[in-house]
Structure 1
Amino acid sequence: MNPTTEQRIRIAVAGAGGKMGREVIKLALTDPGLTLVAAVDRSRKGVDAGLLAGMEECGIAVNTDLELALVESRPDVLVDFTIPEVVMNNARISIKHGVRPVIGTTGLSTDHLEELDKLSKEKGIGTVVAPNFSIGAILMMKFAAEAAKYMPYVEIVEYHGGQKLDAPSGTSIKTAELIAQNRQEFRQGHPDEKEIIDGSRGGLYDGFRIHSVRLPGIFAQQEVLFGGDGQTLKIRHDSYDRAGYMPGVSVAVKRVMTERGLVYGIEHFLTSSEQDNR
């Protein structure tokens, strides 16, 4: 039986005019457990959110003022897919009003994450920050972390479109963090290696490398390569459409309602029973 309107989780979307924001609007308008109450975008004022997402009119006009939108619509959750320059301010405003942020925007620092945890606990609500909402990508991270116990020589190559603002990606950083938990730190490569072109060996994390490829025509892929005597292991995940992130967003939105403080990464929510929400 579908939840009544009063039982549904009330959703506001920041970055509603972006490609991910429009997918979240579709999710909020079609998931029986959710209801869209606000859409915020700096450049789409007054546009109906349903039409913006390529659906029928829904009666929710896009607002340019986040705080005003939160006060007027009283959502339970703010889903944020904006840009690194504004995401922290959005989260602070959201938490101030008791609205739980679910953040897919990358570029947050460790200090930012600590601040979000502190603010959320003080307010008694949950916050979710996820470098990637794809279930397949989360599995790729888990498999890579497990492989690192047995094959500690590793490099990460991540591929995104040419307009991505941050490098390396949040997904690759999260993967590196999980690998580092299962791998004793040591510096890979020849001890006397020299970069003829600065940066050609990639970014250094805990003794291993992350390489970022940025080209038009690419959506989002990541490959984790392990090397050993006489063998290699490659763990790769490919995303082809933003709709693939929405099952993970749905899980995060529903689970953040019962959390207190920061949850970093939706792998903490992925049990077999959660797949009923996909």
Structure 2
Amino acid sequence: MIRIVIAGPRGNMGKEAVQMVLETDQFELAGVIDRKNGGKTLADLQGLPDAAVPVFDDPVHCFQETQPDVLVDLTNPDTGKVHMKLALENGVRPVIGTTGFSEADVEEMSLLAESKELGAIIAPNFAIGAILMMKFSQTAARYMPDVEIIEQHHDRKLDAPSGTAVKTAQLISEVREKKKQGHPDEEETLQGARGADVDGMHIHSLRLPGLVAHQEVIFGGEGQTLKIRHDSINRRSFMPGVKMACEEVMRIGVLVYGLEHIIE
């Protein structure tokens, strides 16, 4: 039995995670962290399953009272970083589903996880199909190095580009030599028209109501194009990855950034 605490239970992803944990035989929902509803129970929160699970507004108090094995954080970048550090300092293995971590953040958390000999996972995307999209894109880039990324998300997403897009570009950069794409004398007549630049690749971000999470990686070659696309139609699509991360984080003793490292 894995005892789990969820931070952000009222969000769209948080609600799905609560339901997944309650439905999984080997998981036990020990508590939830919600800065606005400390002292209540999960049953008190509108729209959430009827369960006598305590709600805490202080993560340290939550960890000390419930003694969980795993923290699943589905809040926002700033809160996720704080919760991750507090979890590791209190002997709890974090599974973080918020993006926006810098390389320095990841390095700091990695050193902390190693010093505590605790597993930790930061997942820019929990959808298994999205992980496969990234891995397939890395393979394609070995043979078609001219590539651009278009990512689309709902208009409440805080960071741009998405963590998935950044992670995809990082994976491609590992097998692709840096090169500037487009015409050598290319000029933006409107700033930002060509998107963000990562080692010569361009990333374009769309933010619109009605979207969930979508990404297309487009490769161009002589007389041909290749498109690798993934669409999350609803947030239930992320739950198999959350479940897998909760199980895997119990088996490792270091920080893992990206689920592609645990689905070989």
| In 1: Cα distance, 2:94 partner to 2:10 partner | 18
Which stretches in structure 2 are left out of the alignment for 5+ residues?
none
Matches within 5 A, 1:22-101: 22-50=15-43, 52=45, 54=47, 56-101=49-94
Please report the TM-score for the alignment, with normalisation by the length of structure 1: 0.92
| In 1: Cα distance, 2:239 partner to 2:46 partner | 14
The residue number in structure 1 matching 2:173 is 180
| In 2: Cα distance, 1:118 partner to 1:109 partner | 14
1:200 corresponds to which of 193, 199, 216: 193
The alignment-based identity, stated in percent, is 49
Which stretches in structure 1 are left out of the alignment for 5+ residues?
1-7, 272-278
- Cα 1:53–1:125, aligned 2, differ >3 Å: closer, same or farther? farther
1:229 corresponds to which of 212, 215, 222: 222
Structure 1 residue matching 2:29: 3-state secondary structure: strand
The residue number in structure 1 matching 2:208 is 215
Conserved in 2, the CA contact under 8 Å of 1:23 and 1:53? no
| In 1: Cα distance, 2:217 partner to 2:201 partner | 11
Number of aligned pairs? 264
| In 2: Cα distance, 1:101 partner to 1:62 partner | 18
- Cα 1:56–1:18, aligned 2, differ >3 Å: closer, same or farther? closer
The residue number in structure 1 matching 2:124 is 131
Give how far 1:258 is off.
Answer: 1.3
Please report the TM-score for the alignment, with normalisation by the length of structure 2: 0.97
Moved over 6 A (4+): none
Give the aligned residue type for 2:104: D
| In 1: Cα distance, 2:217 partner to 2:44 partner | 39
| In 1: Cα distance, 2:185 partner to 2:45 partner | 55
RMSD: 1.3
Deviations 1:58-101 (A, max 9, x none): 21132111110111000000000111122111111100110000
